[in-house]
Amino acid sequence: MANRNYNRYQALEKEVKALYADVDIGAAGAPTIVKALGITSIARDSDGVYTITLDDKYTRLLHVDVKQLVSAAEDLTFQLVSEDVAGSKEISLRCLAAAAVETDPSNGSKLLIKIELKNSSVGE
């Protein structure tokens, strides 16, 4: 563990919450959560399309970032498809290869996911 004096995160938005997930990708794009506090599950819906289900409801989705950890070069981008963090507690995202083709990340790679959410209606 780091032995440092870290300071509080500050934002103009009230009650910003961050969730993080480490997800291993297996054969045929099958996701397995390695570590993810506040995240119930991640499921593969079709080639390159995944749904993340959160443990709790939130007022608003602020940001999602997905990075792929992989040893060989792979030109993929990630996009949000839909979100309903206040209702179904789900975030849907797609992984795209060249020519915007939905593609599974490679077997053996890892996705590092950060989700920022608002947990208050103050300032809405």
The whole-model pTM stands at: 0.93
CA 22 to chain centre: 9
pLDDT by residue (tens digit) across 11-68?
888 899 999 999 999 999 999 999 999 999 999 999 999 999 999 999 999 999 999 9
The beta-strand segments (E) located in 5-71 are 16-25, 31-35, 39-46, 49-54, 60-69
Separation between Cα atoms, residue 44 and residue 49, nearest integer Å: 6
Burial-class residue 29 by CB neighbours within 10 Å (0-12, 13-18, 19+): buried
Separation between Cα atoms, residue 89 and residue 41, nearest integer Å: 11
> Residue 106: pLDDT band by 50, 70, 90 thresholds?
very high
> Residue 3: pLDDT band by 50, 70, 90 thresholds?
low
> Residue 1: pLDDT band by 50, 70, 90 thresholds?
low
pLDDT by residue (tens digit) across 107-121?
999 999 999 999 988
DSSP state of 93: E
Angle at 113 between CA 104 and CA 111, to 5 degrees: 40
More confident residue, 122 or 118: 118
Report yes or no: 58 and 85 within 8 Å, Cβ to Cβ. yes
